[in-house]
Amino acid sequence: MNDPQNPALAAMMQRAVAERVYNFSPGPAALPAEVLQQAAEEMLSWHGSGVSVMEMSHRSREFESILAQAEADLRELLQVPKDYRILFLQGGAIGENAIVPLNLMRRLDAERPKADFVVTGTWSVKTEQEARRYGEVNIAASSVEQKFVRIPDVADWKLADDSAYLHLCTNETIVGVEFQEVPEVGQKHGRVVVADVSSHILSRPVDWSRLQVVYGGAQKNIGPAGVTIVIVREDLLGHAHPLCPSAFNWRLAAEHGSMYNTPPTYAIYIAGLVFQWLKRQGGVPAVEQRNIAKAKALYDFLDQSAFYRNEIDPSCRSRMNVPFFLADESRNEAFLAQARAAGLVQLKGHKSVGGMRASIYNAMPLEGVMALIDFMREFERSAA
C-alpha cells in the first residue's frame, strides 16, 4: 500500500488534493494533507499486517508499537522532562475541567480543597465553573470586565497561599488571547501550575519549569477529536478524589501506560502521524517560526486596514486564533459566502463573539494565510 510510485494511487490522491480547501475551523481543524494521505493508504492494511489500525487489539504488538512511538515522538517534540508522564485519555478539555480537580484539588489534604484560576476568556470561565463542584475556587484575576481583550498583569494576580494549584488557559480559542510566556509565580517553591493548552499545543515550546500539568483535546493542533493528552509531573499522581472514576484517574492511567481502559486507538495513531510530520517540518522551533510569520502577516494586514479590525491587545494576541470584525457588519454574510466560493471555509466567528475568526494552527500553511489576506484585500476593494 505504501508505494509513492503507484501511479494509480497518485492519480486518486491528486483528484482529492485538487478538491481540498483552506479550512480555518477552530476545531476539529485542518490536518496536513500528507498525514491524511498516509492514513488513507494504510487504512485496509497497516504495514502489511492485513488489518487496519482501527481493527487492532490495543494489546497487540502492532498497536503497542504505535502508542510507544507516538509517546516518544511527543516527548521529543515538547522536550518533556523524564519526571513527567504522558497520558492519552478521553473526554476532551471539557472532561478535564472536572478530571483535573478530581485528581489534583485534594493534594494538600486541606480541610477545604481550593484552587486558583486566572480567567482570560470563555474557556477559563467554563473551567472555573466546573471546578466549583469539587472545592473552593479563588479567582486570582479576571479580564471579564475588559471583555477579555488583555490578559491581567501578573503583578495584580491574587493567588491564595493554600491552593492546590493555579489553572491557566494559555490560549483562548474563542476570544483569541494567548500567554506569550507563563510567569514565574512561585513554581520554584512548590506552586503547581496547570494549563489547558488544547488550542496551541506543539505550536511553541513549553517551559516545564513553570508548568507542572498541561492538557488538551487533540482536535485543534494534533489530530482527531476523542483523544485527550495529559502531561503531568509524576509526584502529582495519587491524589484523586475517592469518587473519581477509575477511567479518569491519572495514577491508574500512568500505571497502565494509558491502557487502564481501551484507549482511542485510531485517534492516537493519527496523532502519531502528525507528530512524525512535525518532526519532518523541523520540530517545534521551526513550526513556531512559521506560526509567527503566519500570525504577523494576518495581524499586520488587519492593523493597516480600516475595513477590518482585531480588538485584542497586541501583547497577548493569539498566534492560533485570529478573530476579526468588518467595520460594516452588514457585509458579514457576503464575506462568508464569497470566501467559501474562493475555497476559504469556516471563517465565521464564535456565536458568543460574532464577526469572523481565522484559526491558523500548525497544519495551516503560510499559503493559506496569504490566500485569506489576498481575498480580504480584494473583498475590501470591491466593497469600496
List residues forming the annotated binding site for pyridoxal 5'-phosphate: 123, 173, 196, 219, 261-262
Verify whether residue 208 is a known catalytic residue.
no
Q: Is 227 in the site for its own copies (CB under 8 A)?
A: yes
As annotated, the binding site includes: 59, 123, 173, 196, 219, 261-262
**Which of 220, 250, 294, 348 is flagged as catalytic?**
220
126 is catalytic: no
Q: Which residues, 6 or more positions from 303, have their beta carbon under 8 angstroms from its beta carbon?
A: 310
Classify 226 in phi/psi space as left (phi over 0), alpha (psi -120 to 50) or beta: left
279 vs 36, 79, 134, CA distance in Å?
Answer: 16, 13, 39
CA atoms of 315 and 50, how far apart (whole Å): 52
Secondary structure class of 140 (helix, strand, coil): strand
Task: Please choose, from the candidates 277, 297, 206, 230, the residue with its C-alpha nearest in 3D space to the C-alpha of residue 39.
Answer: 277
Binding residue (CB under 8 A) for its own copies from 187, 199, 203, 346 = 346
Extract the annotated binding site for L-glutamate. Answer: 59
243 binds its own copies (CB under 8 A): yes
For residue 169, the Cα-to-chain-centroid distance in whole angstroms is 10
Residue tagged active-site, from 73, 114, 116, 196: 196
Closest separation in Å from C-beta 210 to its own copies: 27
Q: Does residue 136 touch its own copies according to CB under 8 A? A: no
Nearest distance from residue 357's CB to its own copies, in Å?
11
Nearest-CA neighbor of 97 among 23, 195, 164, 178?
A: 195
- From the list 165, 266, 275, 324, which residue makes contact with its own copies (rule: CB under 8 A)? 266
Could you tell me the smallest distance in angstroms from the CB atom of residue 317 to its own copies? 22
Say what the alpha-carbon torsion angle 164, 159, 319, 376 is, to the nearest 10 degrees. Answer: 120
Of residues 87 through 116, those in contact with its own copies by CB under 8 A are: 90-95, 97-99, 102
- Binding mask 18-57 toward its own copies (x if CB under 8 A, else -) reads -xxx-x-xxxxxxx-x--xx-xxx-xxx--xxxxx-xxxx
Tell me the per-residue interface mask from 297 to 326 with its own copies, x by CB under 8 A, - otherwise.
------------------------------
CA distance 315 to 305: 19
Q: Does the annotation mark 123 as catalytic?
A: yes
Query: Cell digits for 51?
Result: 488489518
Distance between CA atoms of residues 24 and 71, nearest Å = 28
- Residue in 113, 121, 176, 217 binding its own copies, rule: CB under 8 A: 217
Catalytic residue positions, numbered: 123, 196, 220
